[in-house]
Structure formats: C-alpha cells, structure tokens
A = this chain, B = another copy of it.
Amino acid sequence: MDISAIQQQLRAFSAERDWDQFHNPKNLAMALSVEAAELVELYQWLTPEQAEAASHDPAFATRLGEELADILLYLLRLADRTGIDLPAAVARKQQLNAQKYPADAVQGQAKSALNSGQHHSST
C-alpha cells in the first residue's frame, strides 16, 4: 500500500471541499475514535463464535472492510497532518513490543483486571 500516495489523495480531497478547517489533529483523533466505535458496533451483540463466522458473510465482510478503511483513512490523514512517519513508528513499536513481552514470560497470558499488572496481549 502506497501510504504517501493515499495521503496525497486525501490532501487533495480535503482541499477541494474546503475541509482543512475541520481536519485539525484534535478533530481527526475524535473522528478516528468514532469510526473505531462503528467497528465495535458490528460485533457488540455477537458471540465470539458468531463474530468469527461473520467474516464469511459477504454483506458483513463488505461492511467490515468499510469500517476498517474509514479508520485507516483517518489514521493516514492524521499522520500526514502531524508529520508522523507511520512505517517508522510501526517498526519502532514492534521492537518495543518484542522487548516488553518476551515470549517465554507471557505465554498464554493476557493482561486483565483479573491478573492486573501482569502481561498485556498486544499485537
């Protein structure tokens, strides 16, 4: 995926609509979180098994793709507006996660309020 190309398209899209006035970092962060909630909404009443199976439903998969795209577009836009180098930030975070969660120390453990202060199932 060509991040810079998409960011350039989003810049043009916003400029053509005079939307730069709305796309400040604070507002974009809010908008991204609203899109994340629309993703959550897709799954909120489903059992984990139904949620898993839903991916095979074409209508659901289309909706899911739209929500993921909405989140990603705001993410790219926000990174562009704030000068964050996303690929570098991702590579750095992956390194931090590898240090923070040594495989042998966190086997099968997720941080939760039941075993708080322990380990966090990060990506």
Residues of A within 8 A of B (CB): 1, 3, 6, 9-10, 13-14, 16-19, 21-27, 29-34, 36-48, 50-52, 54-55, 57, 59-61, 63-66, 68-79, 81-90, 92-94, 96-98, 101, 103, 106-108, 110-114, 116, 121-123
Q: How far does the Cβ of A30 sit from chain B's closest Cβ, in whole Å?
A: 4
Q: Would you mind naming 26 contact pairs between A and B with Cβ atoms under 8 Å apart?
A: A1-B86, A1-B87, A9-B94, A10-B123, A13-B98, A17-B103, A27-B45, A27-B48, A30-B43, A31-B121, A33-B39, A33-B40, A34-B41, A36-B36, A50-B114, A54-B112, A55-B84, A60-B113, A63-B116, A65-B86, A65-B89, A68-B84, A68-B86, A72-B75, A73-B122, A75-B75
